[in-house]
């Protein structure tokens, strides 16, 4: 009988722990687990985590990943509540039936196409090799936009997928002739003197969408109030990311030199991170026309602004 009561007590304790979810019992703080890569494109959520570190209501637990596939796997399998992620990767997951919503932009602008010093203009890229991190990315879209703008097409160049950290050295070694990737790796290429900027993203695609803050439906549906508070705090953090504060938070998380960050942070901003229907429609058109996805999810299915 004593064993039974011990079993009962343990079971009740275990169940109440489950019922509390991610709520810390000690101080009643809600914890939101967010996956990120150490890039300037995720600075808004890193800033939010810092701003909320002493909050009595809600805190961000940052989970760092080394590559997009690893991060996406964590997001798709519900190991985290959300992520700062290339929006095209999340759109593909959504199209495949994973319950995800994009609730904000990761950043505004913030991409460049870097080329070797021998390339003077877009026409010089014909027959050359350009690296991108992943075909499901705004970097692949920007390379397509660059070629289209200059009367060329993706057929005129060789596209290779390469790990972002390898791109600056591949450019310096002459293995590739250009690349487009999440920052600060473009700035790394420029800082070595082996690469230069051919285009900034806003010259190719106004109001471009690159990374998104994406949350799981499970998190949004089971902890709606927490999700609302989290998204509000995220947008506040984005609006407060002055150049100086962005530099501070990047130094803390990115392991890059001041010179690289100085170059990189001039291309990006974090104000007003709402995803508008116009931005999303433009993105969807490009996703279809450049062959990333045949059937991207609609704005209504995938984007959530109405918390």
CB of 244 to Zn ion, least distance (A): 21
State the Cα–Cα distance between residues 290 and 145, nearest whole angstrom.
9
Stretch that binds Zn ion, among 9-17, 41-49, 76-84, 200-208 (CB under 5 A): 41-49
Stretch that binds Zn ion, among 39-47, 118-126, 212-220, 275-283 (CB under 5 A): 39-47
Report residue 152: phi and psi, to 5°.
-115, 175
Nearer Cβ to Zn ion (106/296): 106
Nearer Cβ to Zn ion (81/88): 88
With beta carbons less than 8 A apart as the criterion, state whether 78 and 169 touch. no
139 in contact with Zn ion (CB under 5 A): no
Q: Exactly one of 44, 83, 119, 211 binds Zn ion (CB under 5 A); which one?
A: 211
CB of 68 to Zn ion, least distance (A): 11
Nearer Cβ to Zn ion (42/284): 42
Nearer Cβ to Zn ion (22/239): 239
41 in contact with Zn ion (CB under 5 A): yes
CB of 290 to Zn ion, least distance (A): 17
223 in contact with Zn ion (CB under 5 A): no
With beta carbons less than 8 A apart as the criterion, state whether 212 and 106 touch. yes
State the Cα–Cα distance between residues 100 and 303, nearest whole angstrom.
9
249 in contact with Zn ion (CB under 5 A): no
- Spatial neighbors of 135 by CB under 8 A, at least 6 apart, are 159, 161, 292
State the Cα–Cα distance between residues 90 and 74, nearest whole angstrom.
12
State the Cα–Cα distance between residues 144 and 153, nearest whole angstrom.
7
Q: Exactly one of 119, 210, 220, 273 binds Zn ion (CB under 5 A); which one?
A: 210
CB of 208 to Zn ion, least distance (A): 9
Report residue 298: phi and psi, to 5°.
-75, 165
CB of 182 to Zn ion, least distance (A): 5
Short-list 149, 188, 151, 148, CA closest to 171: 188
Nearer Cβ to Zn ion (195/212): 212
162 in contact with Zn ion (CB under 5 A): no
37 in contact with Zn ion (CB under 5 A): no
Residues within window 85-114 making contact with Zn ion, judged by CB under 5 A:
106
231 in contact with Zn ion (CB under 5 A): no
Q: How many chain residues touch Zn ion (CB under 5 A)? A: 4
- Spatial neighbors of 279 by CB under 8 A, at least 6 apart, are 105, 207, 209
State the Cα–Cα distance between residues 227 and 301, nearest whole angstrom.
18
| CB-side neighbour CA atoms (13 Å) of 305 | 10
State the Cα–Cα distance between residues 178 and 140, nearest whole angstrom.
12
CB of 31 to Zn ion, least distance (A): 25
**Which residues are near Zn ion by CB under 5 A?**
41, 106, 210-211
């Amino acid at each position: 009988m004593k064993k039974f009561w011990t079993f009962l007590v343990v079971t009740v304790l275990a169940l109440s722990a489950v019922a509390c979810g991610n709520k810390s019992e000690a101080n009643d703080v809600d914890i939101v687990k967010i996956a990120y890569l150490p890039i300037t494109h995720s600075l808004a959520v890193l800033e939010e985590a810092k701003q909320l570190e002493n909050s009595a209501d809600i805190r961000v637990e940052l989970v760092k990943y080394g590559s997009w596939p690893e991060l996406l796997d964590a997001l798709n399998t519900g190991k985290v509540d959300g992520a700062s992620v290339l929006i095209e990767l999340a759109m593909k997951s959504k199209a495949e039936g994973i319950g995800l919503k994009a609730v904000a932009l990761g950043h505004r602008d913030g991409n460049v196409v870097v080329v070797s010093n021998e390339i003077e203009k877009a026409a010089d890229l014909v027959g050359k090799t350009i690296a991108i991190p992943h075909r499901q990315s705004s970097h692949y879209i920007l390379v397509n936009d660059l070629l289209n703008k200059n009367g060329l097409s993706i057929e005129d160049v060789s596209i290779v997928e390469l790990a972002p950290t390898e791109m600056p050295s591949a450019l310096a070694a002459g293995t590739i002739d250009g690349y487009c990737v999440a920052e600060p790796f473009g700035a790394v290429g420029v800082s070595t003197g082996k690469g230069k900027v051919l285009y900034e993203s806003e010259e190719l695609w106004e109001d471009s969408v690159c990374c998104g803050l994406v949350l799981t439906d499970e998190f949004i549906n089971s902890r709606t109030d927490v999700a609302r508070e989290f998204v509000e705090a995220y947008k506040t953090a984005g609006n407060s990311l002055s150049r100086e504060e962005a530099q501070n938070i990047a130094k803390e998380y990115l392991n890059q030199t001041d010179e690289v960050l100085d170059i990189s942070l001039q291309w990006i901003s974090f104000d007003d991170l709402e995803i508008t229907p116009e931005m999303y429609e433009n993105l969807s058109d490009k996703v279809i026309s450049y062959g990333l996805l045949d059937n991207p999810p609609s704005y209504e299915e995938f984007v959530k602004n109405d918390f």
